[in-house]
Amino acid sequence: MEHIREHRSLLADAERRLLIAIARRLPPWINSDHLTLVGLLSMPLAAVAFANIPAAPWSAAAFVLALAANWFGDSLDGTLARVRNQQRPRYGYYVDHVIDLVGTAALFAGVAVSGLMHPSIAIAVVAAYLLVAAESYLTTHLRILLAVGAIVVANKPWVDVAGQHARLFDVGGLVAIAGMIVAFGVSAIRNTRALYLAEPLPSMQLATTEDTGDAEEKAYKTNSLGKLGESTF
CA dist., res. 199 & res. 71, Å (int): 37
Tens-digit pLDDT profile for residues 7-43? 556 677 889 999 999 999 999 999 999 999 999 999 9
Predicted confidence at residue 233, as pLDDT, reads 42
CA dist., res. 101 & res. 225, Å (int): 38
Count of structural domains, the chain: 1
DSSP calls for 23-49: HHHS-TT--HHHHHHHHHHHHHHHHHH
Predicted confidence at residue 24, as pLDDT, reads 97
Structural domain contains residue 123:
yes
Predicted confidence at residue 3, as pLDDT, reads 44
Structural domain contains residue 219:
no
What residues of the chain score a pLDDT lower than 50? 1-5, 224-233
Structural domain contains residue 97:
yes
The letter for the amino acid at 222 is T
Structural domain contains residue 161:
yes
CA dist., res. 167 & res. 156, Å (int): 9
CATH at residue 91: 1.20.120.1760
Structural domain contains residue 216:
no
Residues of the domain holding 191: 12-198
